Structure 1
C-alpha cells in the first residue's frame, strides 16, 4: 500500500502526464532561443537527442545549451550540414569553446551521434520514437548511441512520453533517473535511506508505480529544483511538506 507521500508524488506526475497538450519545456531558464530549438522536435529532433547525450557530469542547463552553441558557430543546424564535418572539427570546437567538462570526449560523442542518426534513421532522429514503439524499444535505441547510459536513455524517453506526448505502447521500462534533485527529495523525505544507492532508488520507484516508474521523476525533479534546494530549502511552500521527514 502506498504511503500518503508516495500518493502525492504519483498524483503530481499523473496530473502532468494526463494533460494531452504537449508542453514547451523550459530546459534552460530564461533562454527562449535555446528552449525553442530543443522543443522543436519536428524540424530539429536531433537537437533534443544531442542535448540529452551531453548531460553528463555538468549542469543539465549547460549540457542542454550545447546544440544551440554549435548552431551559432555553424550558422546552421541541418543534420546534412552537421554530418559533413569531421570528428576533429567537433573536438576542436568543444575544446576551444569549453562546452563541456570533458570536451574532447564529448566532441566525439556529438560527432558519433550525428552519424548514428544519419545511418540508422536516415538523418531523422524522430525515427527513434516513431511508430508507437514500446518503452523498452526506445530506451534500447538510445543505448545504441556512443556515451549513452541507462540514466540518459530513460530520462530522454521519459521526457518524450511525459512532456512531448510521444505515444508509446507501454511505460514499464521508463525508470526514474536519479539526478541530484531526485536523490535529494527522496532521501530528505525519508522515502529511501540517506545512504541508498542509485539502484535502490530506481527499485523504490518501481515499487511505488510499477506500470510507469518514471512517473515520479519529474515530480521529484521539479520539487528539488524549486523547493527542496541544497541549502535554505523552501519547505513551507513544498507540496510534500506535511508528510516530509525533512532529513536535512
Structure 2
C-alpha cells in the first residue's frame, strides 16, 4: 500500500478510504463512468458504511443478490447500482484469484514497468484502454508509482501539468479544470 492523500471524492471520509485502501481506489475508478466523478469515488465509502468496513474478500464472498442490494440501496453507489455492484464483485473476485487479494500486486508484483502495469490494468473486468491509462496516470501522479515508463504508457493522461482526467484532480479547483477540459473536448468532438 502506497501512502497518499487523495481528494477525488471531495469528501474527507471517502477520500481517506481511497487514500488508505488500494481496492477502494480501484473500485472508485471502476465506477467512474456515466456518473459524476466525485460521486463515483464516494461509492467505496457507501459500501464500507453498509458492510461495516471495506474488505475485498468480504465483497468477493458476499451473496451476489445481497451485494447488488447493498450497491443499489439509496443513495446507490452509481446510477446503475445493481449492474455496477455486479462489476465491483467481479473485480474483487479477479483481484482475489489473480493477486491473492492484494490490489497493489497489479503495479508491484515482479517489479513491472509502465507497459506491463497498463497491460495488467486492461485485463481487469470493466477496464478498457482509456480507464486503464487514466488509473495508471493516477498511480503515477498521486500514488507514488515510480515504475519506469509509466508516463509513456499512460499517454496524454501522464502529461505533467495536464487537467484532463481524475489523475489530475487534487482539490475542488482542479476538479473544475478537469470538467472544463472534458466539456471543451466533447464540444470539439461534436464539431469534427
Say yes or no: does 1:108 pair with 2:119: no
Q: For each residue in 1:39-78, what CA deviation from the matched residue of structure 2 results, as whole angstroms up to 9, or x when unmatched?
A: 11xxx21111111111111011010000110000000212
Say yes or no: does 1:38 pair with 2:18: yes
The answer for the alignment partner of 2:5 in structure 1 is: 24
Q: Is the 8 A contact 1:90 1:110 kept in 2?
A: no
Counterparts of 1:122 and 1:228 in 2: how far apart (Å)?
A: 35
Which sections of structure 1, spanning at least 5 residues, go unmatched?
1-21, 178-213, 231-248
Greater CA drift, 129-138 or 104-113 = 129-138
Structure number with higher relative contact order (C-alpha < 8 Å, ≥ 6 residues apart): 1
SS at match of 1:53: helix
SS at match of 2:44: helix
The answer for the alignment partner of 2:120 in structure 1 is: 141
Q: Is the 8 A contact 1:132 1:167 kept in 2?
A: no
Counterparts of 1:224 and 1:46 in 2: how far apart (Å)?
A: 24
Larger Rg: 1
Equivalent residues in 2 for 1:191-206, closer than 5 Å: none
Q: How far is 1:83 from its partner?
A: 2.2
Instruction: Find 2:159's aligned residue among 197, 208, 215.
Output: 215
Q: How far is 1:99 from its partner?
A: 2.1
The answer for the alignment partner of 1:160 in structure 2 is: 139
Q: How many residue pairs align between the two structures?
A: 169
* Higher helix fraction (1 or 2): 2
TM superposition score normalised by structure 1: 0.62
After TM superposition, the runs of 4+ consecutive aligned structure 1 residues lying more than 3 A away are 216-230
TM superposition score normalised by structure 2: 0.78
SS at match of 1:57: coil
Q: How far is 1:217 from its partner?
A: 6.7
Instruction: Find 2:97's aligned residue among 119, 134, 145.
Output: 119
